[in-house]
Structure 1
Amino acid sequence: TYVFGRLSPVGQSHVEELLHGEVLGVGLHELETIVAVLLFVLLVLLGFRRELVLVSFDREFALVLGKPALRFELLLHLLCTLTVAVGTIIVGPTMLFGLLVVPPLAARPFARSMSQFFLLATTVGVASVALGITLSFQADLPFGASVVAASAVLLLPGLLPRRAR
């Protein structure tokens, strides 16, 4: 993609948009798509929360309980695929990585249960976006990179040794 993008006069800007996303230029159609996918993913997660957690942690136990493990695994993969596909197209892989991977890494050392882990990871993600917006606006930096940088800063306390925390 990058090589062919360099050959076209406007290709470089399209490649940059693909790699870094244009979250500030999201139109009404993209916003509707995001909301539809978000609602679908949230409703499915809420509706099958216990089964999805069970299958993702202990497939054999789910089978012993008589749960259709393969169906729930496929459903979980579908939800992940939808989230990543829509996120990559709209916000770009850089920001998507910063919001899907880094907040759970930051929350893990401090969480004592799964529900606490989910809540902390969500809080870190929202805080990353808030800090990223502020940093982007104040320093005139790219939005996506600012969110990832803020996310990385919030990851640092979890990397400290336990005695230092």
Structure 2
Amino acid sequence: MFKNMLLTSAVLSTLTGCATAPDYVTPENVETTQIHVTRDIKAPLIGGTSTQIFNMKAFKKCDEPMQAGNTRFMMLVEGHPLMTNFNENGVNVPVGKPLSLFMFSVSGAMSTCSGIVKFTPESGKNYDIKLNGDLTAINPYCTTELWSMPEGSDVAQQERFEEFDDCQS
């Protein structure tokens, strides 16, 4: 119960702070790889869903306060007329530099799930982060998987995150 109150507080402060977060800008003159996010999240029929993803300066646990300097990485929206997608086709990020992402999904009925992940993209691979979940459940949940595909190949391989906090328990 206490962790849920901390999570709610952290999410509200995150959304307040991240509502004004600057957009992520791909660094120039460095080798990059592409990060793509796909969602399969069951949601109520009314209100649609959105997933906001923020690039964090450093990995943190769900119950820790958000740091300054985070950027808006991606927004994926389905069925919500007042919100629009942002970077929905993927984002280029530098290889060899750790990437920490806070992902927050919400339905029109205000059911939420979130998670924080960290991994270091490698040269010669593109990545797909797969978000799955159910926001219609009594206890909404999400899962997050990391998949990579070598450039020029169509064979995906599941990878492990260096750090992960699912913000559910």
TM above 0.5, yes or no, is: no
TM-score by length of 2: 0.30
Name the one with the larger strand percent: 2
TM-score by length of 1: 0.31
